[in-house]
């Protein structure tokens, strides 16, 4: 079954109203026929976790009929930096066949009662469209396998070389840890007031995958104390970070 999770009523409304504008102007940012990934990290409103899950399931049932959705997954976070109650947080990611298909689906969903019920049950923490940095395909099936730990991070550079040599040294250092599988980085697009996805020039999203929670937890202290990590993280502003497991 094809499923998906969008982030908020406002995002859906903007996309629907701006669909025609997308089709005429999108080539300036992202080709209409480029597959994209939608990332939505949502926090259920106080006391509405059950309603959030119930309305999400109903919305997913409606959305599964959309041809433009290629794959979808959800992950439950168990770790973040700082103090945050993760109990009401859920991460959703969807692979869309094209930006045009994404916009058309949003327009059709606007009047649906299932969409309104779902969107009213949560507050969005992150909502963005992602495109692989290397231009190569990305198989979401590789981050949906039971037992994996998947890190989702969004970070902005605060120095010119943040995503250069410092980045290379950090990710090369991960290769030495047992249980590390791979990392993929993505261009990061946010919607502007017209609903147009705008590339955030100094911001990237990253997905890092580990075999399981045991190897991830064993690796974290060493990674965080390493010179490669300190050097790289010192050049970044982390907008969002969660370690999560497929649901």
Rounded to two decimals, the pTM is: 0.88
At residue 94's C-alpha, the angle toward residues 85 and 110, to 5°, is 90
pLDDT of residue 205: 98
pLDDT tens per residue across span 93-139: 999 998 888 888 888 887 899 999 999 999 999 999 999 999 999 99
pLDDT tens per residue across span 28-73: 455 555 789 999 999 999 999 999 999 999 998 888 889 998 998 9
Residue 87 domain flag: yes
Query: Please, what is the average pLDDT of the chain?
Result: 87
Counting beta carbons within 10 angstroms of the beta carbon of residue 147, is it exposed (0 to 12), middle (13 to 18) or buried (19 or more)? exposed
What's the token pair of residue 28? 């300036």
pLDDT tens per residue across span 146-205: 999 999 999 999 988 889 999 999 999 999 999 999 999 999 999 887 777 889 999 999
Q: How many domains does the chain have?
A: 1
User: What's the CATH number where 134 sits?
Assistant: 3.30.70.100
Is residue 34 within 8 Å of residue 99, measured between CB atoms? yes
SS3 of 95, please?
strand
Element (H, E) at 141: none
Q: Which domain holds residue 48?
A: 9-246
Element (H, E) at 226: none
pLDDT of residue 21: 39
pLDDT of residue 123: 97
Residue 4 domain flag: no
Question: Is the confidence at residue 19, as pLDDT, over 50?
Answer: no
Residue 3 domain flag: no
pLDDT (mean) for 83-99: 94
Residue 66 domain flag: yes
Q: How far apart are CA 173 and CA 169, in angstroms?
A: 6
Q: How far apart are CA 174 and CA 237, in angstroms?
A: 20
Residue 128 domain flag: yes
Residue 220 domain flag: yes
């Amino acid at each position: 079954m094809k499923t998906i999770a969008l982030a908020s009523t406002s995002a859906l409304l903007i996309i629907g109203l701006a669909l025609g504008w997308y089709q005429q102007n999108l080539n300036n940012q992202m080709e209409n026929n480029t597959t994209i990934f939608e990332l939505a990290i949502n926090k259920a409103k106080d006391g509405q976790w059950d309603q959030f899950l119930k309305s999400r399931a109903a919305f997913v049932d409606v959305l599964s009929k959309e041809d433009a959705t290629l794959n979808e997954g959800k992950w439950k976070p168990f770790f973040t930096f700082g103090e945050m109650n993760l109990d009401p947080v859920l991460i959703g990611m969807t692979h869309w066949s094209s930006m045009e298909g994404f916009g058309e689906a949003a327009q059709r969903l606007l009047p649906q009662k299932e969409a309104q019920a779902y969107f009213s049950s949560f507050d969005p923490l992150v909502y963005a469209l992602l495109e692989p940095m290397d231009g190569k395909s990305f198989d979401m099936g590789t981050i949906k396998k039971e037992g994996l730990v998947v890190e989702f991070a969004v970070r902005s550079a605060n120095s010119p070389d943040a995503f250069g040599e410092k980045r290379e040294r950090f990710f090369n250092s991960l290769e030495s840890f047992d249980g590390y599988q791979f990392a993929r980085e993505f261009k990061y697009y946010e919607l502007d007031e017209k609903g147009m996805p705008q590339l955030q020039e100094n911001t990237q999203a990253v997905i890092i995958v580990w075999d399981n929670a045991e190897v991830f937890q064993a690796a974290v202290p060493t990674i965080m104390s390493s010179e490669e990590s300190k050097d790289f993280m010192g050049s970044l502003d982390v907008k969002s970070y969660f370690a999560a497991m497929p649901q």
